[in-house]
Structure 1
Amino acid sequence: MSSDLNVLVAVSDPLRCLGIEAVVLGAGVARACDFASSARDLAEKMRHLERYAAVVIDLDLNDSPALDLIARVRSLSPAMGVLALDLAAGADRTLRALRSGANGVVGAQATRAEIQDALRAVAAGGRFVQASSLASLIHQISRQTPEPSHEDLSNREYQTLCLLARGMRLVDVAGALSISVKTASTYRSRLLEKLQLRTNADLIHYALSNGVGVTGAVAGQVRAGALAERR
């Protein structure tokens, strides 16, 4: 399925870009990759989506509102294949990415063959979710609980939760989401109310306990800060 078009790849890490480029070329869906390292770069390249066979978006693109970016691509080009990269490999983010307009999602454990299959599928207008994610995704969709859950949050509230859980201040959250500090504060108040939480420490504890938006070294850093605040 060779194409004269390129694949637009929105990923911040240069080394990962090289790896993705090799996978894209191996999949035979495009002649080359065009890279965007930030939300601003991606927004600029979105003006020419007709040049691309598919768009690949990292859900952790420099703490940008990736779900909004996916929705914007879908709005500008309803037929465009969009593949989301989710290194956190969380069923909640996978579901939100799909609901925002992604055709497929691959996680950190995806093999080269799975990523290539995903690229071919979304470029052809199909859908793809790697086999290892299906069980947790089905559970996420079918789960019904009366307890407060981040599933009840809007995308903006969810993004605010993820950023605050990483230890970001409201002013930084506002900058990352391109909103005012007042609006960021409103989202924080709403999510605290919906989750029945009181403080940022409670919020971070909730995020860590539920695997929301905080992984790896970042998790260790915010966990230490949260525990210190709770003492």
Structure 2
Amino acid sequence: MRLLIVDDHSVVRSGMAMLLNGKHGIEVVGEAADGDEGIAKAMELKPDVVLMDLNMPHGKDGLTATAELKKLEPNVQILILTMHDDDEYLFRAIHAGAAGYILKSAPHDELVSAIQSVAAGNAYLYPTATKRLMSEYLDRMKKGEAGGTFETLSDREKEILSWTAKGYSNKEIAEHLVISVKTVESHKANLMEKLGIKTRPDLVKYALKKGLLNFE
């Protein structure tokens, strides 16, 4: 499988290339230092998998580059490689079109398995994330959804629930919906009260269950 490595640290890129190239059926066809270069290289080299860093201070970051690249090359599989063990980043990566999400601290064998998995058209989440998300989801199912139900939300509240779960800030939501930040905050407080949800991670899980993240 053809692999492109996108990371702003040259040492990381070189190390990954040395570890992976010519092994496990992987051919490293190129490297890029930021999202803009990553998109250009992907368009030129046509890799099967792009190993994409999440945070790159220069040019486009990994999330923006992932979303743009998936529009240009829908068949390329993008595996996010990051130090962030964070649900919000995870869901934003999936929403952007990433096929997988793995930590930089993962063992070499796990990284290879993740690359092979997304290359085969499967999704990949690092094991602790999968276990945590499933545990929290099952816990909510057992408890039932406290408070009101989804049907009690207004159309605007449903919109804001979806945008919030995708990781957008109040300001970004306000700009998109052409309303004030204060209005967004008010709707968000109302919908969380109706649903009996107190934290953002729980809100993300609820939105996932209701199919509001629109991953495609």
- TM tier relative to shorter chain: 0.5 to 0.7
% of aligned pairs identical?
A: 17
State yes or no: 1:157 paired with 2:168: yes
C-alpha displacement of 1:42: 1.8
Select 1:91's aligned residue among 64, 87, 91: 87
Matches within 5 A, 1:197-208: none
* Alignment match, 1:113: 109
Gaps of 5+ in 2: 148-159, 187-198, 202-216
Secondary structure of the 1:16 match is helix
- Distance in 2 (CA, whole Å) between partners of 1:115 and 1:157 is 29
Aligned mates of 2:180, 2:164 — CA distance in 1: 9
Q: What letter corresponds to residue 164 of structure 2 in structure 1?
A: L
Instruction: Specify the alignment match of 2:42 in structure 1.
Output: 46
The equivalences for 1:63-102 within 5 A come to 64-102=60-98
- 1:62 equivalent among 51, 57, 62: 57
Query: Higher Cα Rg: structure 1 or 2?
Result: 2
RMSD: 3.7
> Quick check: 2:54–2:80 contact (8 Å CA) kept in 1?
yes
In the other structure, the counterpart of 1:134 is 130
Normalising to structure 1: TM-score of the pair?
A: 0.58
SS at match of 2:88: helix
Q: Which residue of 1 aligns with 2:12?
A: 16
Cα distance in 1 between the residues matched to 2:146 and 2:12: 38
1:101-155 C-alpha deviation (Å, 9 max, x unpaired): 1111101331111101001111222221111111333367676788xx9974375
Whole-Å Cα distance in 1 between the matches of residues 63 and 116 of structure 2? Answer: 22
2:21 aligned to which of 21, 25, 30: 25
More deviation, 108-117/133-142 = 133-142
Q: Which runs of 5+ in 1 are unaligned?
A: 162-182, 197-208, 212-231
User: SS at the partner of 1:157?
Assistant: coil
